[in-house]
Amino acid sequence: MPLVKVKGLKTHFYKGKGILSKLFGKGLRTVHAVDGISFTIKKRETFALVGESGCGKSTVGRSLMRLVEPIDGQILFEGKDILTANEREMREFRHEAQIIFQDPRSCLNPRMTAGEIIAEPLRISSSKDTKRENEDEVVMELLDAVNLSPEDAYKYPHEFSGGQARRIGVARAIALNPKFVIADEPTSGLDVSTAATILNLMQDIQDKFNLTYLWISHNLHVVKHVCDKMAVMYLGKIVEMGKTQDIFSETLHPYTRALLSVIPRIDFRSERKKIILKGEVPSPINPPAGCRFRTRCKYTLPSCTQEEPELVDVDGGHFAACHLLEKS
């Protein structure tokens, strides 16, 4: 049984002008942030969500934690549907699942020291495994696990660099020994050497604590070397999904092909050419009918404007949603 199974997840937001729209619901427009996606994550697996900014990756992560409420679908964690869980069950779930937020600074309380930030999950947890008297000992162990010194426990967030702030977020996320961690852009805003340090740290922690990761990123080079499986999102939909190496070696969807073509390469003799997509990403308020990528795809077929392609298994666990595959 997979650790996480998502079925038909939909998360929409509503925009309107003025207070009357909010009170009476008139003039509201629907933002289709996540519009019916499904995937599974096995234990100790690293599963990536990739795509352009605004495609819905971070909304998926927040939806899994119910920081935003989906409007439809199922989120099964160890077979239990999180969307129907009551308050007690959600507390138990959040003991087993944690999130590392994209902005390492804004998610840290500026009035709390690093030690207090890391200890906070221990204090509010309903678990009896950790008693109040050994909190300091646990905090020091966590600081050591993320390669920070004991003295850092008494510093405030503004005294840390971006990489150090990220480590505090990692330490807080693993404080309750979770099984599942959502890492939202874990290396964003960091220089190359610091990002490499964070990547090595997270892989070491995964091995040490037997963690399962949902890795949300736009850095495809990192995804290629870190993640076991990946799903490519476009405008709230998954357009391709499978083992990472399979997708990189045999890309099926035109959008994925365009994404991979712009990954920086050291080998300048490579014959691979960049694929520059024309136009802008359509608004999620009014997504195109049929295939959502058709407005930027040079292979558009008549069926692309009328029917939305289904995500189908093309080759033993390698899924894609494209009418071109039906013609081949």
With a cut of 50, list the residues of the chain below it in pLDDT: 129-130
* 46-50 and 97-100 beta bridge pairing: unpaired
d(CA 35, CA 22): 22
For residue 144, what pLDDT is reported?
A: 92
State residue 103's pLDDT score: 85
How far is Cα 85 from Cα 113, in angstroms, rounded to an integer? 33
Q: Are 234 and 55 in contact (CB under 8 A)?
A: yes
pLDDT number for residue 315: 84
Backbone angles phi, psi at 49, to 5 degrees: -115, 125
Sign of CA dihedral 100, 106, 108, 109: negative
28-to-17, 25, 31, 283 alpha-carbon distances in Å: 8, 6, 10, 15
Q: How far apart (Å, rounded) are the C-alpha atoms in residues 199 and 54? A: 24
Distances (CA, A) of 97 to 186, 206, 308: 16, 14, 33
Cβ-based burial of 68 (10 A; exposed 0-12, middle 13-18, buried ≥19): middle
pLDDT at 130: 47
pLDDT digit string, tens, across residues 29-63: 889 999 999 999 999 999 999 999 889 999 999 99
Cα–Cα distance for residue pair 327/32, rounded to 1 Å: 29
